[in-house]
Structure 1
Amino acid sequence: MNAFWNSVDILLGLGAEPKDLTFVQISLRGIIVFVATLIMVRLGHKRSLAHKTPFDAVLLVILASVLSRAINGSAAFFATLGGGVVLVGLHRAFAHLAYYSHRFGILVKGAPDTIVRDGECDFPMMRRNHVSMHDLEEDMRLDAHIDDLSKVRLARVERSGDISFITKES
C-alpha cells in the first residue's frame, strides 16, 4: 500500500512546491478535480448549477476558487477536495433548512419585490432593485411578449434577479 501512495505522490506532485509541478501533474490534478467536482455537484443538487439565486451562485464561485487551489498546488490536494465536499454539504443543508423554514429561506435566498401592480410602476422599489424603465420594457417584450405596461397585472423582481410578469386577462 505504501508503494501505491508513493506513486500517487509522484504522479500528483503532492510534496512539490507549486512552481515545481509539471504539466502532467497539473493535468492529472485537473482531471481528478473535474471528476470530483462533478460528483460533488451531483450529490449537492441540480439547482446549484441553475444559478437560481445568489445563494446558489456563491457556492459555485467559492467552490471554483477552493478547488482551483488543488489544481495549482497552492493548497493541500486531498484536504482541498475535502473542503469542497464540506461546502457542497453546507449548501445542501442550508437549502434543506430553507425548504422547511420560510424565514431562513428569505435570509439566505432573499424575497421577491413587486415593481408593477395593475399597470402602475412602483418607482422606489424599481430604484431599490436597480431596474430602469428601459430594463422593465425590455423584459416585458422578451419574457411577457407585450409592449404595453397597462396589460401587466403584476411584475416582480424574483429572488434570482429575473423579472416575472403576470398579465391581465384580455
Structure 2
Amino acid sequence: MQPFDWQRMLLDQFPAAFLGEVAFRALVAYLLVFAFLKISGRRGVRQLSLFELVVILTLGSAAGDVAFYDDVPLLPIVVVFITLLLLYRITTLLMKISPRFGNWVEGKPLVIIRDGLYEFDVLDRQNISSDEFFMELRQSGIEHLGQVRLGILEEDGSVSLYQFVDGDVRAGLSVMPPALRPRFDKIPHAALYACDHCGHPQRLATGPAPKCPRCDRCLWSEAMGCAQ
C-alpha cells in the first residue's frame, strides 16, 4: 500500500460516476426519513418520544447504509421503512387501547417540583443530573425553586413550569451553576439556607450542618428569594 494515495483515499476502486449514485441514494434516504416524520404527524424532534427516537435511529442506520454502500440495494430499505411504519402504527394503536402499555412505552408526565420543593423521590428515580435539570430551569428564566409552584417533567424530557405570582414567591434553592451556588456541610454564618437535595428552606445557625428534616441530607446552600 502506498501512503497518501489520493485515488485510494478519495474513491478507492469506484469510478467517479459513483458519486452521482451516492447523491441519489442520499436523496432516497432523506426522503424516507422525512416521509416517516410527516406520516407520524410529528412537527419537531423535541416532540419525539423514546419509542419514536428508536424508530428514527433504526431507519437512519438503514438509510445511512443505502447512501454509502454500493452493494446495498434500494428496495430492501423501502421494506425496512414500511415495516417500521407498520410497527409504529401498531404500537400507537396499542397505546391508545391500553394506557398501561402506553405508560410503559413512553412514560408519563411526572410532578418534579411542587410549591418550591423537589419531589425528591421522583427526582431520584429519573436519570437526570442536577446540573442538567438546573440548566433547563435557568433557560426558562428561573433563579430559584421558590419561584416554581409546579414543575412537570414531560414524556419527551422537557420541563413545564408554572410559577407563583410575585406576591407568593418564597425562599428557595438556587439553580445557579456550582460556582455561583456554594454548598456547605458546615454553616459559615447564620442565615436562611435551602437543602441542596430537596430544596427545603430552613434558618440555620453557625456550626455543623444539621440533617434536612425532609430528606435527611446534610448539604445546604443559601436560599434565594427573601431577606436574609
Q: TM-score, normalised by structure 2?
A: 0.56
- Superposed counterparts of 1:103-118, under 5 Å: 103-118=100-115
Closer/same/farther in 2, CA of residues 53 and 32 from structure 1, 3 Å limit:
closer
1:33 pairs with 2, 11, 29, which one? 29
Q: Which runs of 5+ in 1 are unaligned?
A: 1-18
2:143 pairs with 147, 153, 161, which one? 147
- Would the aligned equivalents of 1:41 and 1:88 in 2 still touch at CA under 8 Å? no
CA RMSD of aligned residues (A): 2.6
- Superposed counterparts of 1:1-170, under 5 Å: 22-47=18-43, 49-71=45-67, 72-143=69-140, 145-169=141-165, 170=168
Q: TM-score, normalised by structure 1?
A: 0.72
Look up the SS of the partner of 1:111 in the other structure: coil
Closer/same/farther in 2, CA of residues 154 and 95 from structure 1, 3 Å limit:
same
- Would the aligned equivalents of 1:48 and 1:59 in 2 still touch at CA under 8 Å? no
Closer/same/farther in 2, CA of residues 26 and 108 from structure 1, 3 Å limit:
same
Closer/same/farther in 2, CA of residues 141 and 41 from structure 1, 3 Å limit:
closer
Kindly state the Cα deviation for residue 112 of structure 1 after the two structures are TM-superposed: 2.4
Kindly state the Cα deviation for residue 50 of structure 1 after the two structures are TM-superposed: 4.2
Kindly state the Cα deviation for residue 51 of structure 1 after the two structures are TM-superposed: 4.1
* Higher normalized contact order (CA 8 Å, seq sep 6+, divided by chain length): 1
Look up the SS of the partner of 2:152 in the other structure: strand
Kindly state the Cα deviation for residue 155 of structure 1 after the two structures are TM-superposed: 1.5
**Which has the higher mean CA deviation after the structures are superposed, 119-128 or 104-113?**
119-128
Look up the SS of the partner of 1:46 in the other structure: coil
- Would the aligned equivalents of 1:53 and 1:159 in 2 still touch at CA under 8 Å? yes
In the alignment, residue 125 of structure 1 is paired with which amino acid?
A: V
The structure that is helix-richer by fraction is 1
Look up the SS of the partner of 2:127 in the other structure: coil
Closer/same/farther in 2, CA of residues 153 and 85 from structure 1, 3 Å limit:
same
In the alignment, residue 29 of structure 1 is paired with which amino acid?
A: R
Kindly state the Cα deviation for residue 20 of structure 1 after the two structures are TM-superposed: 5.3
- Would the aligned equivalents of 1:98 and 1:105 in 2 still touch at CA under 8 Å? yes
